[in-house]
Structure formats: C-alpha cells, structure tokens
Amino acid sequence: MAPVSDTFPRVGRMSRGYDVDQVETFLARARRAYEDIGRGPTMTSWHVRTVGFDLVRGGYDVDAVDAALDRIEDAFARREKQRGEERSGQAAWQTQLRTQEQSLRAQLARPDGERFPRGSGMELTYDIDQVDDLCRRIEDSFATGRPLPPDIVRLAVFKGRRGSRGYREASVDAFLDRVVELLVVQAV
C-alpha cells in the first residue's frame, strides 16, 4: 500500500486529479536535481513546464499542483539565467535572449490565420481567432518592451475546432512553450 501523502489537497473520491505517486516521484526528482548543483543540469525549466501526470480518481487537485509547478519552473529558470550569465557574461546572455525573441517575432509577424499550420480531416485543433488574439498580445509585449506575465500564456485555453477550421495543436503548443520559456527568463 502506498504511503498517504498530503503535499497537495486531493479531489473527492469520485473526481479526477493528478496521480499522487507520479506527482510525488516527479517532485522528488526535481528537488534532487535542483539541490545537486555540482553535477550539471539533470532537469531544466522545460522539464518542469512539460511534465504530465495521469488523471485518476481521488488524486491531487490539478490547480494546486499546477501552481506549484509554475513556482518550481520559475526557480529553475532563475538558476538557468544565473548560470547563463556566469558562463557567457550578462551582455552575451542578453544577446541570446534578444535572438530568441527575434525568432519568435518572425512567426508572430505572420498574418492572422496564417501563423500556424491548419489541421486536417477530423483532427482536433485550436480556434484560430483566439490563438491569433494571444499572438497579437505577445507581439505587442515584445514591441513595447512591456513584459507579458508568463501565466497569461501558460494558462491560455482555446476553443476546440476540427480539421482545417483551426490551427494544429502541436504547432501552437510548441511555439507557446518557447514563448513561456523566454517570458519566464525575462521575468526572473
């Protein structure tokens, strides 16, 4: 029998939440990776941002775990920024961030409805107008130099569409992952 854990609140017995053992195992790995400074990065903010857990009855509350993962991601990002500046110097690190931003801006500059590949057949896709709205907010943030809080992108939810009526989910998700990565590093 697995040990009882109360790291996070649990959902009711009939509701679904994150698998407790998977969450606890990941948190233990993250803690070891963060504390083990001398061996090099065995885990990065990307690993934290992209982790997934099974949904099971009586599991951990999804919102509570996700909020903790955001804080853990930020901690890893701060360390990555510090190491990047130590390794390359602050000016070189800033140049690298500007290069990353320019790469993102190239895709953001595409016309509405053409930023990402469209789906096909009955494939699940994201609503084009909603994705384009978020892209315009991101583009405006870069253009004005006013940082967009990472959670605006992290927590974005789009209506589902089918096929060519929407953008391919994988393409949008990969792009937004890169945006969050940049915004987190800029915010720390």
Same-domain status, 5 and 59: yes
What pLDDT is recorded for position 2? 47
Q: Are residues 55 and 133 in the same domain?
A: no
Q: Are residues 61 and 118 in the same domain?
A: no
Same domain flag for 152 and 71: no
Based on the fold, state whether residues 126 and 178 are members of the same structural domain.
yes
| End-of-domain residue from the set 88, 120, 147 | 88
CA dihedral for 65, 71, 74, 75, sign (positive or negative): negative
Q: Is residue 56 part of a domain?
A: yes
Question: CA-CA distance, 30 to 112, in Å (whole number)?
Answer: 39
What pLDDT sits at residue 1? Answer: 40
For residue 3, being part of any structural domain is answered with yes
59 and 26 inside one domain: yes
74 with 15, same domain: the answer is yes
What pLDDT was estimated at residue 39? Answer: 61
Instruction: Mark whether 6 and 81 lie in a shared domain.
Output: yes
Q: What is the pLDDT along the chain (188 residues), one digit of tens a residue?
A: 444 567 899 999 999 999 999 999 999 999 988 887 656 557 888 889 889 999 999 999 999 999 999 899 989 888 888 888 888 888 887 888 888 889 899 999 999 999 999 999 999 999 999 999 999 999 999 999 888 898 899 889 999 999 999 999 999 999 998 899 888 887 76
Are residues 19 and 53 located together in one domain of the fold?
yes
Indicate the number of domains in the chain: 2
* Predicted pLDDT of residue 93: 79
Is 123 contained in some domain? yes
Same domain, 67 and 125: no
User: Do 124 and 59 fall into the same domain?
Assistant: no
Does residue 94 fall inside a structural domain? Answer: no
pLDDT value, residue 20:
95
- What residue numbers bound the domain in which 134 lies? 111-188
Judge whether 50 lies within some domain.
yes
Residue 106 domain-assigned (yes or no): no
Q: How far is CA 14 from CA 1, 52, 55, 64, 66, in A?
A: 20, 21, 12, 18, 20
Backbone angles phi, psi at 183, to 5 degrees: -65, -40
- In this structure, are 74 and 147 located in the same domain? no
The per-residue pLDDT for 24 is 95
Q: What is the pLDDT of residue 41?
A: 56
